[in-house]
Amino acid sequence: MKRTSMNISKNVIRRLPRYLHKLDDLANNGEKRISSGELGRQMGLTPSQIRQDFSCFGEFGQQGYGYSIAPLREQMGQILGLDRSYSVIQVGVGNIGHALIENFNSIIEGYRLLGAFDERPELIGSKIGDTPVYSSKNLTDFIQKNRVDIAILAVPRDVAQKLTNNMISAGIRAIWNFTNVELDTGDSGVLVENIHFSDSFLTLTYYLAEEDDVKK
Amino acid sequence: MKRTSMNISKNVIRRLPRYLHKLDDLANNGEKRISSGELGRQMGLTPSQIRQDFSCFGEFGQQGYGYSIAPLREQMGQILGLDRSYSVIQVGVGNIGHALIENFNSIIEGYRLLGAFDERPELIGSKIGDTPVYSSKNLTDFIQKNRVDIAILAVPRDVAQKLTNNMISAGIRAIWNFTNVELDTGDSGVLVENIHFSDSFLTLTYYLAEEDDVKK
């Protein structure tokens, strides 16, 4: 399975990690193969949707036989870049940053943090698990020298954009953004994927308020 | 501004928190009013999209004058349920849960955590900031007695669904899900909003792999 087209819709791409996790679960339960019908039932998708999603990446599965789980899982991992060993750093070691460092291996199997950066002197030189904490002053140098691909950004709002600009100049390729700031990456082509806690929570309270209004 | 229709698209709802944050920023900078053109420019949206979004909630703004920021912000907050004071608890006080408790007030202004729940004896009876930690054994009782609206779920994968079932029986209305499990809420009507760290990160590595394949 490989990318046969570079114009795959965002909705398909958002489903790929779900397929990966589902295939992991099935493999862990000792399953060997699964039909698109059964996979759809377990994931709340239609079989034709699943076949359509997979067809973006070439032929897969066999009429009347279904999908072999182990090879499909491996190829899904490749599609998602799990075999590329992209280098990752943590920028900002507050509560959230600290928790991300401690959970990084369980969030993303096979990935390792090269280092973490903070400006508080009491943190610099320490280690969180295996991850060394460096001074923010060395951030751009480190990105350049180590050709860092991905920065996890979890810093206070007021420094988020400035650090983003600096990292872009240093050649970062992608930012996993935990600040509640909409980062401006200009025409750099740098990828940004947001975890906006506040926006996510407000979606819940919106729907609760809607429910309450309906009941009135 | 109020909900004039209960069939507002998810994409519109996802933009509402962004409007709220942008209006906060503008108010903090001392701005009094803004045109849909300028608001669109700052948010990467077209003016007609903004007018369309707002029109879901009734008439707002004035031709040639634009939007008054303070009242628009207040009404956006009401739409998002910020004035409803929904009650919230934290379930699971691992690294992520702990960080969420410590950051909850900065994530969601005006909301307070009623309590946190964990099964580790050394945590039970302690406080994290102002938030007391109770035993998981008391979770369902607490939800019933305090009519808890929202549970923030940050527990190990293998207990996520069981806790969800228990909380649904106890009358929880919404779950903010930080586990990487797709929760099954059956026909309970309980709302689930997911923060799937792993899925989000894999989206980034997908796009990086795509970039690399294009360069080849």
Contact B90, B131 (CB under 8 A): yes
**Across all residues in chain A, what is the average pLDDT?**
92
CB atoms within 10 A of CB B5: 7
Span between the terminal Cα atoms of chain B, in Å = 52
Helix (H) or strand (E) holding A139: helix A139-146
Q: What is the pLDDT of residue A56?
A: 85
Q: What percent of chain A has pLDDT over 70?
A: 97
Q: What is the pLDDT of residue A102?
A: 92
Residue B195 touches partner A, C-beta closer than 8 Å: yes
pLDDT in tens, B153-200: 999 999 999 999 999 999 999 999 999 898 999 999 999 999 999 999
Give me B150's structure tokens: 């929202």
In angstroms, the CA A154 to CA B99 distance is 12
CB atoms within 10 A of CB B161: 15
Q: What is the chain A residue with the closest CA to B189?
A: A211
Provide the pLDDT confidence category of residue B207 given band limits of 50, 70 and 90: very high
B4 has pLDDT over 60: no
pLDDT in tens, A136-172: 999 999 999 999 999 999 999 999 999 999 999 999 9
Q: Which of B193, B202, B206 sits opposite A200 (nearest CB)?
A: B193
Q: What is the pLDDT of residue A207?
A: 94
Q: What is the pLDDT of residue B65?
A: 82
Q: What angle do CA B175, B181, B183 make, to 5 degrees?
A: 50
In angstroms, the CA B77 to CA B67 distance is 15
Residue A214 touches partner B, C-beta closer than 8 Å: yes
Contact A155, A91 (CB under 8 A): yes
Strands (E), A13-73: 33-34, 67-68
Q: What average pLDDT does range A72-94 have in this prediction? A: 94
Q: What is residue A59's DSSP assignment?
A: -
pLDDT in tens, A33-62: 999 999 999 999 999 999 999 988 877 777
The count of C-alpha atoms lying within 13 angstroms of the C-alpha of A164, restricted to the half-sphere facing its C-beta, is 26
Residue A162 touches partner B, C-beta closer than 8 Å: no
**Across all residues in chain B, what is the average pLDDT?**
92
Contact B26, B72 (CB under 8 A): no
pLDDT in tens, B22-70: 999 999 999 999 999 999 999 989 999 999 999 888 777 777 788 999 9
A5 has pLDDT over 90: no
Residue B70 touches partner A, C-beta closer than 8 Å: no
Q: What angle do CA B91, A180, A145 make, to 5 degrees?
A: 105
Alpha helices in B44-179 (DSSP H): 47-55, 69-79, 95-107, 139-146, 157-170
Q: What average pLDDT does range A91-104 have in this prediction? A: 94
What amino acid occupies position B133? V
Domain boundary assignment for chain B: 10-79, 88-199
Please report residues of A whose CB lies closer than 8 A to that of B173.
208, 211
A135 has pLDDT over 80: yes
Provide the pLDDT confidence category of residue A111 given band limits of 50, 70 and 90: confident
Q: What average pLDDT does range A24-34 have in this prediction? A: 94
CATH of the structural domain B88-199, one choice from 3.60.20.10, 3.40.50.720, 3.40.50.620, 2.60.120.10: 3.40.50.720
Q: Please indicate whether, in this complex, the C-beta atoms of B193 and A203 are within 8 angstroms of each other.
A: yes
Q: Which of A80, A206, A213 sits opposite B80 (nearest CB)?
A: A206
A212 has pLDDT over 60: yes
Please report residues of B whose CB lies closer than 8 A to that of A95.
98-99, 102-103
Q: What average pLDDT does range B3-20 have in this prediction? A: 83
Q: Which of B3, B173, B197 sits opposite A208 (nearest CB)?
A: B173
Question: What ipTM describes this predicted complex?
Answer: 0.92
Class of domain A10-79: mainly alpha
Q: How many Cβ pairs within 8 Å bridge chains A and B? A: 164
DSSP B30-62: T--EE-HHHHHHHHT--HHHHHHHHHTTS--SB
Q: What is the pLDDT of residue A6?
A: 62
Helix (H, G, I), strand (E, B) or coil at B131: strand
Across A4-8, A103-107, B50-54, which has the greatest mean pLDDT?
Answer: B50-54
Pairing of the two strands A88-91 and A150-153:
parallel
More confident residue, B71 or B58: B71
Q: Which of B176, B182, B201 to mutate to test the interface with A (most CBs of A within 10 A)?
A: B201
Helix (H, G, I), strand (E, B) or coil at A166: helix
